């Protein structure tokens, strides 16, 4: 129904309008408990510990989560959880509320099942989003993370100011979330990716861990565009500081091997590419991160997931959890529950006891 009827209607609208329409449709589910319970009963997969994942001292009922960027302001977390996600990552939020970059700033590449965005962290500000999430947190039912980023108004070349900005956002949201993801890898905020350099990353992560205490669940979201040397330098910092995990990966600035006409791609211009073209690179980065960091760190794999085979590829590469965003746009709102059911079916077909039997070790020590 989604692919044949709903998606063509949504794709006839500008991407931003479609997103607003989807959020309007989720509104009644978010705010009416009985409707939310009905949606959960119909849409969500059955509770089954065979696909549960335990990491960071948290229980995830399914490895399939929502990536940051879809619900930037935590306005629909209860509705999204009712669709069958095993966790949500909300945001990205910044210490200072800010509007989106000038339009047009969001584009579809349907032939590639991809999106390009240059939104630039539009959000209501970390304080308001943290308060909003705190008010409904007990009703969501799955682990929730919040992604934090740099406020656009803070100069990227003033590291002390950047760290203070991240700390302000961190303080606003950490009490409302189960984990906090530090976004230093979006291509849409000038200078942000420079924070992936080892010296900047070390100073920033050390400050956040010190502020949150040794039990703080801090994860770092990294770009797919780092070469092997730069990736290892950054991962060395992750290991040194001892944060809880890594989210791999953010969107890419690469445009290689796209099916979409080159003139169309050029007309779209700059921005982060997400979706199917990122699938192979995301798995490779996850594999390298796991090989470098070993089994004791949580890895959330992101990039091109639309079905159970895509999820399994990231899990087998070394991810503990996977996230979808662009896949939700192309595969529809039933995707998280369908993937979870397909994983259960694969467990039955393979004659193994749990998801671990399909992909190897998923449980890691609490961080």
Torsion of CA 247, 170, 252, 328, to 10 degrees: 70
pLDDT in tens, 160-183: 999 999 999 999 999 999 999 999
Give residues with Cβ within 8 angstroms of 108, minimum separation 6.
11, 15, 114, 115, 329
Q: How far does Cα 292 stand from its chain's mean position?
A: 21
Q: For residue 61, count other CB atoms closer than 10 A to its CB.
A: 22
SS3 label, residue 203: helix
Supply the pLDDT for residue 367: 32
Domain 2-356 fold is: TIM Barrel (3.20.20)
Supply the pLDDT for residue 362: 67
Return the axis-axis angle of helices 335-350 and 308-317, rounded to nearest 10°: 70
Give residues with Cβ within 8 angstroms of 254, minimum separation 6.
224, 225, 273, 281
Residue with tokens 């609490």: 366
- Whether 186 is catalytic is yes
Average pLDDT, the chain: 95
Supply the pLDDT for residue 247: 98
> Among 215, 282, 283, 224, which residue's Cα sits nearest to residue 243?
215
Sites in the chain below the pLDDT cut of 50: 364-367
SS3 label, residue 359: helix
List the chain domain ranges.
2-356
Q: How far does Cα 314 stand from its chain's mean position?
A: 14
Instruction: Please give the backbone phi and psi of residue 115, each rounded to the nearest 5 degrees, phi first.
Output: -130, 155
Supply the pLDDT for residue 366: 35
pLDDT in tens, 113-123: 999 999 999 99
Supply the pLDDT for residue 339: 97
pTM for this predicted structure: 0.96
**How is residue 318 annotated by DSSP?**
T
Supply the pLDDT for residue 218: 98
Supply the pLDDT for residue 213: 81
Supply the pLDDT for residue 365: 41
Question: Among the options 18, 62, 147, 186, which is catalytic?
Answer: 186
């Amino acid at each position: 129904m989604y692919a044949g009827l709903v998606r063509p209607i949504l794709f006839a609208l500008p991407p931003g309008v479609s997103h607003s329409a989807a959020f309007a449709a989720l509104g009644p589910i978010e705010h009416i408990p009985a409707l939310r319970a009905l949606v959960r009963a119909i849409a969500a997969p059955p509770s089954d510990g065979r696909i549960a994942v335990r990491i960071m001292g948290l229980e995830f009922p399914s490895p399939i989560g929502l990536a940051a960027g879809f619900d930037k302001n935590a306005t629909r977390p209860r509705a999204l959880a009712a669709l069958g996600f095993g966790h949500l990552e909300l945001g990205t939020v910044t210490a200072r509320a800010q509007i989106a970059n000038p339009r047009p700033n969001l584009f579809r590449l349907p032939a590639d099942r991809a999106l390009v965005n240059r939104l630039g962290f539009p959000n209501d500000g970390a304080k308001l989003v943290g308060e909003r999430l705190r008010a409904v947190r007990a009703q969501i039912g799955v682990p929730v993370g919040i992604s934090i980023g740099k406020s656009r108004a803070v100069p990227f070349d003033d590291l002390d100011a950047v760290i203070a900005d991240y700390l302000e956002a961190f303080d606003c949201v950490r009490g409302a979330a189960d984990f906090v993801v530090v976004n230093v890898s979006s291509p849409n905020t000038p200078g942000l990716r420079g924070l992936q350099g080892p010296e900047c990353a070390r100073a920033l992560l050390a400050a956040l861990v010190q502020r949150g205490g040794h039990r703080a669940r801090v994860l770092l979201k990294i770009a797919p565009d780092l070469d092997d040397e730069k990736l290892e330098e950054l991962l060395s910092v992750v290991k040194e500081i001892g944060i809880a995990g890594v989210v791999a990966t953010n969107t890419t600035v690469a445009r290689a091997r796209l099916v979409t006409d080159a003139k169309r791609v050029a007309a779209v211009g700059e921005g982060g590419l997400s979706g199917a073209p990122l699938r192979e690179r995301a798995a490779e980065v996850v594999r390298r991160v796991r090989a470098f960091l070993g089994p004791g760190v949580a890895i959330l794999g992101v990039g091109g997931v639309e079905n159970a085979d895509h999820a399994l590829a990231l899990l087998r590469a070394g991810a503990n959890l996977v996230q979808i965003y662009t896949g939700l746009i192309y595969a529809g709102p039933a995707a998280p529950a369908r993937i979870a059911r397909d994983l259960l079916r694969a467990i039955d077909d393979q004659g193994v006891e749990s998801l671990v039997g399909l992909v190897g070790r998923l449980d890691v020590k609490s961080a």
